[in-house]
A and B are shown apart, each in its own frame.
Chain A
């Protein structure tokens, strides 16, 4: 008779092999990192620039520049570009983060060269037509106004300002009037300064065609392109709030969005790995203490979580949830209670073992497939780290003790150091 109460035997993950990216250079010196794996004949090519929001002097400029690259070139109109790229079944993707901006092409291998012809043109010869800029800004403004109705968005925007300061490039929040201030000249200047071969890195992944290096050289590597120049920007000092608690009022809200957190550190800090374990216990997975208490015991929320965000020049810890308006205070009380418990009591070996295994399982999932491997590479490359980072991470997760977790909670999670922001109509 089958005994269903006994769990089957299982194995813990003892090592993880991460397929490493190959490093090479194009003829003009652009570094190329390639992850060659996968069974589908597809390729992703991503061109990355230090051109994120950190580098802009005015709100919206970094994202407008990146998004409008495909809005027309010296040779092709925006419509012609999208017609052609779509015809080959390819996908063109723009993305702008705090530190980096990139454009990516996803393509079937058999149409790679055809599609890249247009990506090359988009990158090297954009003209940023005034009319396209006007349409872009007007549509973005509408989206912004819609998003401004969401308590979650209101809390997140205000929280960044509180953490970094309202004028800090990591903290700056877009205001409605910013949409009327972006000029074509500013966009052109930003493009010239940041989009050139000297500021470009290429990451390719997929089941790569054998001549991938030639293909890349043809389109991006023949000679230096763009206006070469140094891309450097010093990190301005932080001017965080001195007020511990802030409310962003939205009268008709039936839920409140909560953000609690503090400035911390990024991946390069010695406590980073171990803090990640602490964070996972608190709010980093479905079985976390915040979920177990505030969702699965009290039913105050559909979801609550915490995380540690890494930026090139900084990092921050945050807890985030949307809770029923009438239980806002109770939810806050329970959140602080869970943090206090981590400061005061040792985590049990069993809970720690679950979290260890969960984290390593997540790690295994995160290196599955060519695109995931490329993302994994970028996650260390952006911080100037090498693949030994993953070994160190693995080791830290395997060896961390309950005492270390408690010490970290005391060091970094004192209530007086945590900034709290609530958007909505808490009663």
Chain B
């Protein structure tokens, strides 16, 4: 059970405080409700590029990192297709430094040309390092546009192509900041060895004067139902043939989400899971196989991917996957197996609650999903999932007409 206080400043900034006296640290996590899905299709990768620019100095403070390091702090951030999240941890007694730094960059950035120019290069190198100069690195650049025809999930957080990042201008940067970076569009969580009253004071002092701004309305096109199987085959200089299947599934807000998540656990969580036992150990069709949900906020993807063993045909490998899908769709799921997955969820959640930063980030995400207290309801939501619900989702989601398959093959030399 994670206890917290929640209040709103007059400028609509939501503030959540979680006290944990067992740690000497304090953590400030600020989530902005903007991700790659909010980008213009012709200027993708922008939310993430912008995240980099948030470290390029703010209106009154030329450098973000240096003063934070001076007080023993550390920070980072991440961008997904749904959100952009910034966090820093400081020794608890230096909490105010974090407020000073975070409030100034919510107020306004410095917008220097040098920062934009350098971060464009840095992000381009990141694009290369993670997506182009790695075996299988471009899988999601290929699979997303295959699975999505309309919804902005069709491009990856890093962007569709390097050119979009090269083309970003200072005007774009300023417009993006004005639209998305304001108190109305942010959730702040302060966690660790902190006093809620003190946090309230500091929040009023540093964030209170920032103009509220307007929470941008999100009107994203809904992805039409997929009605026939889609495939794409590419050959690359990689040593092993791989298969990636992406099935459409419900959104993170949907009641069925937890049943789908358990479905992925039954199939692929740990060495006792079905795909591991059957496809890696018994039939030895694959050297590696996974099933997982992407966790998207809007209607998302359920992925099954695997590396095919040498000497095994793609057809046989696929038959192996299909047989496991048939079983889970049509044969009763043993009670023990379902209970195992629920126990695993419980211990995963319990272990994750040992870390104050993880708690802070999860509180912010829960609040954005509707209510910070969802964090405390998580285990129960998995506990009530029935075998029938899992099976129903298996039939609904794991349908070949609902699937986009990428065959990522080793180039024959």
Which A residues form the contact surface with B (CB < 8 A)?
2, 4-5, 7-13, 37-42, 70, 78-79, 82-83, 85-91, 106-108, 135, 138-139, 142-143, 145-146, 148-151, 252-255, 285-287, 295-302, 322-324, 353-355, 357-358, 360-362, 364-365, 368-371
Q: Is A142 a contact of B239 with CB atoms below 8 Å?
A: yes
B61 at the interface (CB under 8 A from A): yes
The CA of A354 and the CA of B25, in the complex, are separated in Å by 18
A-B contact count (CB 8 A): 214
Q: Which residues of B have CB within 8 Å of A83?
A: 272, 340
CB distance from A311 to the nearest CB of B (A): 27
The CA of A215 and the CA of B121, in the complex, are separated in Å by 56
Q: Is B69 a contact of A142 with CB atoms below 8 Å?
A: no
Binds A, one of B122-130, B144-152, B295-303, B324-332: B122-130
Nearest A residue (CB) for B343: A89
Interface size range of chain B in the complex: 35 or more
Q: Is A89 a contact of B280 with CB atoms below 8 Å?
A: no
Q: Is A39 a contact of B347 with CB atoms below 8 Å?
A: no
The CA of A74 and the CA of B101, in the complex, are separated in Å by 60
The CA of A215 and the CA of B264, in the complex, are separated in Å by 34
Q: Which residues of B have CB within 8 Å of A369?
A: 22-23, 354-355
Q: Is A357 a contact of B69 with CB atoms below 8 Å?
A: yes
Q: Is B70 a contact of A299 with CB atoms below 8 Å?
A: no
Q: Which residues of A have CB within 8 Å of B355?
A: 369
The CA of A253 and the CA of B237, in the complex, are separated in Å by 11
B90 at the interface (CB under 8 A from A): yes
Q: Is B70 a contact of A357 with CB atoms below 8 Å?
A: yes
Q: Is A40 a contact of B340 with CB atoms below 8 Å?
A: no
Given contacts A150-B135, A361-B91, contact A354 B70 (CB under 8 A): yes
Given contacts A108-B346, A142-B287, A149-B135, contact A78 B100 (CB under 8 A): no
Q: Is A362 a contact of B97 with CB atoms below 8 Å?
A: no
B178 at the interface (CB under 8 A from A): no
Q: Which residues of A have CB within 8 Å of B22?
A: 37-39, 369
Q: Is A86 a contact of B132 with CB atoms below 8 Å?
A: no
B102-139 vs A, CB cutoff 8 Å, 1 = contact: the mask equals 01100100000000011111111110111011111000
New A-B contacts (4) at CB < 8 Å, excluding given A287-B65, A358-B72: A149-B134, A286-B69, A298-B121, A355-B69
The contact sample of 27 A-B pairs, CB cut-off 8 A, is A4-B107, A8-B100, A10-B94, A11-B94, A12-B72, A39-B22, A40-B351, A40-B354, A78-B281, A86-B340, A88-B343, A106-B347, A108-B350, A139-B280, A145-B240, A149-B134, A254-B133, A255-B129, A287-B66, A357-B72, A361-B72, A361-B90, A362-B72, A364-B25, A365-B89, A368-B24, A369-B22
> Residue B307 contacts which of A87, A142, A299, A354 (CB distance < 8 angstroms)?
A142
Nearest A residue (CB) for B89: A365
